[in-house]
Amino acid sequence: MAGEAGSAKPKAPHGPSMGRRDFVYAAGAIAGLACVGGAAKLAPGDESLIRPPGGGDEQEFFARCTRCDRCRSACPTRVIAPATLEDGLLSIRSPKMNFKLGWCNFCGACAEVCPTGALATSGGARFAFDPMPDDEFFETSLVLGHAVVNEDRCIAWKGQSACVLCSQACPYEAISLDEYDRPVVDENACNGCGVCENRCPSSRLLSYGGGDVRGIEVEPALVR
């Protein structure tokens, strides 16, 4: 009957099928998202970056830091640098220590200008920075990291030169020389100031080896 025929529900129209070009675009978008996800390797809690003095607790640091850049502007040795995409998507423009640019003398200038307490002990207390006799470095209980000798890049360990720059530069007497005049780090005395890494000439003298890896570099402390 006409009435019954008119009451029949029409079939839903089929949407356009995904063509080859659409599939390629979709695959490209997924790949792009995967790249972004890979760049975001550093999530809060990952302590693979060395933060300025007082920024040791990564969770608390991320909760407080506004990326205002005041710590970097106040640093007299210019060791504080903004994190880049290579450091992780979530860390972009947050302050990190780059010992190829400078070193930390623990003067406390960065903590003094931090408006949110991101560079402080747990609970917001400020660290004490006591001047050493030469007034260039300061005594502190802070440990940013520990210097580690890269024997494959260290000029002295490779036997190419009697280089002793790192041991001479260390203000905390944390680097001694073994019987072959090769640097050895005392982790109990090293606080990760980074002078040794900054002064190391291996990246220039061994530039043909590729990269900017130095003969001694500071690695993050497990507990800061």
Same domain flag for 132 and 99: yes
Is 10 domain-assigned?
A: no
Q: pLDDT at residue 172 above 60?
A: yes
Q: Give the pLDDT band of residue 60 (cuts 50, 70, 90).
A: confident
In the 3-class helix/strand/coil scheme, how is the chain assigned residue by residue?
CHHHHHHCCCCCCCCCCCCHHHHHHHHHHHHHHHHHHHHCCCCCCCCCCCCCCCCCCHHHHHHHCCCCCHHHHHCCCCCEEECCHHHCHHHCCCEEECCCCCCCCCCCHHHHHCCCCCCCCCCCCCCCCEECCCCCCEECCCCCEEEEECCCCCCCCCCCCCCCHHHHHCCCCCEEECCCCCEEECCCCCCCCCHHHHHCCHHHHCHHHCCCCCCEEEEECCCC
Same domain flag for 136 and 165: no
Is 153 domain-assigned?
A: yes
Same domain flag for 65 and 120: yes
Q: Give the pLDDT band of residue 17 (cuts 50, 70, 90).
A: very low
The pLDDT, as a whole number, for residue 27 is: 45
Is 130 domain-assigned?
A: yes
Name the domain boundary from 93, 111, 141.
Answer: 141
Average pLDDT over residues 56-72: 90
Is 16 domain-assigned?
A: no
Name the domain boundary from 99, 118, 141.
Answer: 141
| Domain total in the chain | 2
Same domain flag for 134 and 216: no
Question: Structural domain of residue 200, as residue ranges?
Answer: 143-224
Is 133 domain-assigned?
A: yes
Identify the residue with better confidence: 53 or 130. Answer: 53
pTM for the full model? 0.73
Q: Give the pLDDT band of residue 115 (cuts 50, 70, 90).
A: very high
The pLDDT, as a whole number, for residue 46 is: 52
Average pLDDT over residues 153-172: 91
